Structures are given as C-alpha cells and as structure tokens.
C-alpha cells in the first residue's frame, strides 16, 4: 500500500518535469520542479511545514495556538491548510496589491485575513513588520517570520535539494530560481553545492527587484514594479545570507508573460507569473551555456491563482502589456 497520512504527509516528492518546448529549442534539458502539485498548490507548503514543525519541536507552538504571518499569499495558504490539519488558528496580513483569488482562498480556508496597503519594508506599517507586532501581542501565538526564519531554507535543504539531486542522478549543471524570502533558492543552492561545487547557482530576478544589482555590483537598487507576485527583493533576508550565488539573470514582464503563455500553449502547463521569471532565466542560461546542459528551476504555483490578472487581457492592458501571440 502507498498511502499518504493526511495533508502534511502529502507535501513534497513532486515530479521533475522536462519543459519540452524550451528544452528542444535550446538543446539543453530544462527541468521544472513541479511545486504547484503540492497539496496547498505551491512551493510554500514546504516552508510553512518546516516553520510550524520547528516551532512545535522548540515548544513555541502549543495546542490551540495561533500562527501569524505577513505573506504575499502562498505561504499563508500553506500555513492555513497546515493549521487546519493540525488544529491551530491562522492569522494572515497581506498587502492589498495581491490577487483577489489568493485573498479569497485564505478566507475560505478559515484564516483571519487583514489586508493592508502595500508600503516599503522600511515603513513600520509594512505587512511583514505588522504581522510581527500582532504575533507579539497575542497569547499562545508564533510569528512564522518566513523571511528571516532559517527553518524556511532548511525545509528546502532537507527536501527539495535532495529530491532534485536524486531525480537527476546528480547530473545537474545549473540551478536557477527567483527569490521572495529566498528560502527555496538558498536551501537548494546550499544542498547542491555541497554535493558538487561545479553546480552553477543563479538567481533569477524580476525587473525592479534589487537582487540582480546586488549580485552584479554589490549594491541593492530596487526600482519600479513587476506584475509577478511573491518574488523580488529590496533587502538581503536572513535566508539569503551566506548562500552561494554564481550569477544573476534579470527577466522583464513581457518576457515572463511570453514564457508563461508558451508553457500554457506548447507544454500544457498553466503556471503563475514567477514561473515565467524562473523558466525565462533558465532559457537565457541554456542559451549562454550551450546545448547538452541540464538546468533545473521551480514551477512555484499554478495559473488559477492569477486568472484575473496574467490570463486576463483587460488587466494586462491596464499594465501596458498584451497577451503574447
Ligand atoms: N513564487 C511564488 C508564486 C511565491 O509565492 C513565492 C514565495 N513568496 C516564490 C516564488 C519565492 O519563494 P521563496 O520565498 O522560497 O523565495
């Protein structure tokens, strides 16, 4: 018998999918870790579980307790599912710029949701800082603190990284991923580099995020906005500290859109926007490295969470973008 014991036991062990159209075009093997197949629908199920189980082990989270987090959506969705499965309450602070689908889903899952104006991290009313203050004021509550809680990247170091290494029989030339908290990129990069120093670890960055300039010049220069959600950074989070970064690739919104529509129409994969940045960067890297290389990236979440945005011509037009041919 092969039976998963509930929601929590079903997280991880996702397939590694060859992205046929991009692989055939470049002569490389471009492989996507299918994190949208996690039971909560995104890569963040792994971090949410790692954070909750670390807090349980350390005695910080007790029966009947509340998990509080500031999140762009997917971490909150993962936390809300796990809280239901384990009997905790969940309180989520989310910027009002995030898609309505994610906000509605959080409420359906039973989380208490507070939407707040999107203000920069340096502002005391930033959603992340606010969530920390709320957790401190509540009894029997923990602050998940995904950006600076190392249980996040450890979850990927112990699960995503080893899965990729086993699924490729150790034949991986490059790892490329965009970063929100950096947990996915960092945990996998740390694990893969330990297996082989030859694995190139490359950060993918949307336009307007500061990480690309940090890698290229040592200075963080965030500017502007990307339509992609859940990724991009204006600071180095604790999860991104002391992590190998060999290079960075920057992908703009029109290119990310072109990539997600190609995945939809030629590969049959209905993906979220950060996947456009990831696969776009993997494609650029494939062209740079030349045929014969194996490049692994992440398919963070599915397209249904962005139906009203990425897959809606009117919304795209309002951002000066068009549905690619
Ligand atoms: N893509 C999406 C859609 C996300 O929600 C997130 C997490 N915010 C990421 C990518 C980045 O993952 P991480 O936080 O592990 O860097």
Residues 306-325 have pLDDT tens digits of 999 999 999 999 999 999 98
Residue nearest to atom 3 of ligand 1 (CA): 230
Residues 258-285: b if buried by 16+ CB within 10 A, e if exposed = bbbbbbbeebebbbbbbbbbbbbbbbbb
Alpha-helical segments (H) within the chain: 6-9, 20-26, 44-57, 74-86, 100-108, 127-137, 151-158, 160-167, 183-195, 211-217, 253-266, 273-289, 313-318
Q: Whole-structure pTM over 0.95, yes or no?
A: yes
**Regions of the chain short of the pLDDT cut 50:** none
The whole-number pLDDT of residue 37 equals 98
Q: Is 177 in the pocket of ligand 1 (CB under 6 A)?
A: no
Q: Is 300 in the pocket of ligand 1 (CB under 6 A)?
A: yes
Q: Which residues are catalytic?
A: 44
- Ligand 1 midpoint to CA 74 (Å): 7
The whole-number pLDDT of residue 224 equals 67
Give the 3-state secondary structure of 191-225.
Answer: HHHHHCCCCEEEEEEECCCCHHHHHHHCCCCCCCC
Q: Which atom of ligand 1 is nearest to the CA of 301?
A: 3
Q: Is 274 in the pocket of ligand 1 (CB under 6 A)?
A: yes
Q: Is 184 in the pocket of ligand 1 (CB under 6 A)?
A: yes
Q: Are 109 and 32 in contact (CB under 8 A)?
A: no
The whole-number pLDDT of residue 29 equals 98
**Dist CA 74 CA 39 (whole Å):** 12
Q: Is 65 in the pocket of ligand 1 (CB under 6 A)?
A: no
**Dist CA 43 CA 135 (whole Å):** 24
The whole-number pLDDT of residue 98 equals 86
- Ligand 1 midpoint to CA 122 (Å): 21
The whole-number pLDDT of residue 97 equals 87
The whole-number pLDDT of residue 199 equals 98
The whole-number pLDDT of residue 99 equals 83
CA distances 74 to 71, 158, 203, Å, are: 7, 20, 20
Interface predicted TM-score of the whole assembly (ipTM), two decimals: 0.99
Dihedral sign of CA atoms 46, 16, 41, 273 in order: positive
Q: Which atom of ligand 1 is nearest to the CA of 305?
A: 3
Dihedral sign of CA atoms 12, 13, 14, 17 in order: positive
């Amino acid at each position: 018998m092969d039976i998963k014991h509930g929601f929590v036991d079903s997280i991880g062990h996702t397939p590694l999918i060859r992205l046929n159209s991009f692989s055939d075009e470049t002569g490389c093997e471009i492989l996507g870790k299918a994190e949208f197949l996690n039971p909560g629908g995104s890569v963040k199920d792994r971090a949410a579980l790692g954070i909750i189980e670390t807090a349980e082990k350390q005695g910080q989270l007790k029966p009947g307790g509340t998990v509080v987090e500031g999140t762009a959506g997917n971490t909150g969705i993962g936390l809300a599912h796990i809280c239901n499965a384990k009997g905790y309450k969940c309180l989520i602070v989310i910027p009002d710029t995030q898609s309505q689908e994610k906000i509605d889903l959080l409420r359906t899952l039973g989380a208490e949701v507070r939407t707040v104006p999107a203000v920069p991290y340096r502002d005391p009313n930033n959603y992340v800082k606010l969530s920390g203050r709320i957790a401190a004021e509540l009894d029997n509550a923990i602050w998940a603190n995904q950006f600076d809680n190392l249980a996040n990247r450890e979850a990927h170091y112990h699960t995503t990284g080893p899965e990729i290494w086993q699924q490729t029989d150790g034949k991986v030339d490059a790892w490329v991923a965009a970063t929100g908290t950096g947990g996915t990129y960092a945990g996998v990069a740390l694990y893969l580099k330990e297996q082989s120093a030859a694995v190139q670890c490359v950060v993918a960055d949307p336009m307007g995020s500061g990480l690309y300039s940090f890698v290229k010049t040592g200075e963080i220069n965030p500017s502007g906005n990307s339509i992609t959600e859940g990724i991009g950074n204006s600071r180095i989070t604790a999860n991104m500290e002391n992590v190998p970064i060999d290079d960075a690739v920057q992908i703009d919104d029109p290119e990310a859109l072109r990539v997600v529509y190609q995945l939809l129409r030629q590969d049959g994969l209905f993906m979220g926007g950060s996947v456009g940045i990831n696969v776009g960067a993997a494609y650029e890297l494939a062209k740079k490295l030349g045929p014969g290389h194996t490049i692994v990236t992440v398919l963070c979440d599915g397209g249904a969470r962005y139906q009203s945005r990425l897959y809606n011509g009117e919304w795209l037009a309002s951002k000066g973008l068009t549905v690619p041919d």
